[in-house]
A and B are shown apart, each in its own frame.
Chain A
């Protein structure tokens, strides 16, 4: 089951609820890519996204006993992820007050100080594929894309941005988004509508929606 639709009673979730560690590890294997993508699209730092994803699953494991509806495991897990990301961004904002001369607190962690927030592994930096033009171009597009996403989210309120990303980046249904954010479905729709309207008027719309590169 690829990161997604969960049957009403997923046997893995039931077994994990009974304390089966292997079943929980299987759930981790199943959802880790989705959770990592969710985190990366919000914080745009590979290392931080890795650490945060690990933390999300540890929290989920510790709180597994509090999951009331086994059929809503994914929404529950995504809610933990969204809250962790929110906490991370809040901490980052707070820390930025004390480091006014460092624009990105990940600079030290990123080899080559990649300004996009995307940090390359050692293998990527020194590997044989590094100089390949196609890859370089792809990385440039990647960097540009996430820069535009960052600019776009600055235009939106926190809730609009979250709803939009959950809908289109994480491909969640409206009902699931409502469950993840603990809001009513009509509230979610209102925020989504506002977000779409703002993005439609955003100057970087061409790059974001049509994939055009200036």
Chain B
């Protein structure tokens, strides 16, 4: 089957070819290869734009004076060798820090035990001692047994406060305790 294109390239297609012939469809490429008219149209366009560039160069004036660079040396590109002193200094500084830190850790007094004690104390009660005194928490703790004696905890199963029997029993216990305290 003959797939050759019969129509000539449009102006836009000629411009596409002018930009880059390789980007044309294979059909257009084949047509361009075989059609002298389209090749001529493309060559004319190419020639026009090339001539434009030629005229631009022709109509550009000469430089006023040639460019001269100053006498200072051109900055060199950095090589690994240039970085050696910097790297050496950095490594020496790191080593120094490591040695100093190691020595300090070795000879510094061991405070880890004190720290654990502090942590334990804080876990038990985070409030400072002064405030604990103000709130009477120290006092409360010291007389806990005494308070337990004053207000005894409920016995197992004795979770009701209602009932005359219970009240009598409680009253009896309370009277007994109060007598002990008074004594």
Contact = CB atoms under 8 A, between A and B. Distances in A.
B117 interface: no
Contact of B56 (A20, A28, A169, A210): A169
A24 B69 contact: yes
A54 B67 contact: yes
B146 interface: no
A200 interface: yes
A33 interface: yes
A169 B78 contact: no
Contacts of A91: none
A46 B61 contact: yes
A20 B74 CA distance: 6
Contact of A37 (B50, B57, B68, B72): B57
B170 to A, nearest CB: 94
Given A40-B60, A146-B59, A168 B52 contact: yes
B52 A209 contact: yes
Contacts of B77: 17-18, 64-67
Contacts of A20: 74
A113 interface: no
Nearest to A33: B63
A169 B71 contact: no
Contacts of B19: 174, 189, 192-193, 196
A61 B69 contact: yes
Contact of A40 (B16, B61, B74, B76): B61
Contacts of A47: 64
A108 B16 CA distance: 44
B53 interface: yes
B149 to A, nearest CB: 88
Interface residues of B, number: 36
B65 interface: yes
A64 B75 contact: yes
A170 B49 CA distance: 12
Contacts of A32: 63, 66-67
Interface string A16-37: 1111110011001100110011
Contacts of A53: 63, 67
Most chain A CB inside 10 Å of its own CB: which residue of B11, B59, B72 = B59
B23 interface: yes
A110 interface: no
Interface residues of A, number: 52
Contacts of B56: 37, 41, 145, 149, 168-169
Contact of B53 (A62, A64, A169): A169
A36 B60 contact: yes
B15 A197 contact: yes
Contact of A200 (B15, B20, B57, B72): B15
Nearest to B53: A168
A32 B67 CA distance: 7
A58 to B, nearest CB: 7
Contacts of A40: 60-61
Interface in B19-69: 19-20, 23, 48-53, 55-57, 59-61, 63-69
B12 interface: yes
A67 B76 CA distance: 10
A67 B77 CA distance: 8
A28 B69 contact: yes
Contacts of B74: 16, 19-21, 24, 61, 64
Interface of B: 11-12, 15-16, 18-20, 23, 48-53, 55-57, 59-61, 63-78
13 contacts: A16-B74, A19-B76, A21-B72, A24-B74, A32-B67, A36-B63, A53-B63, A57-B69, A65-B77, A145-B55, A168-B50, A192-B19, A193-B19
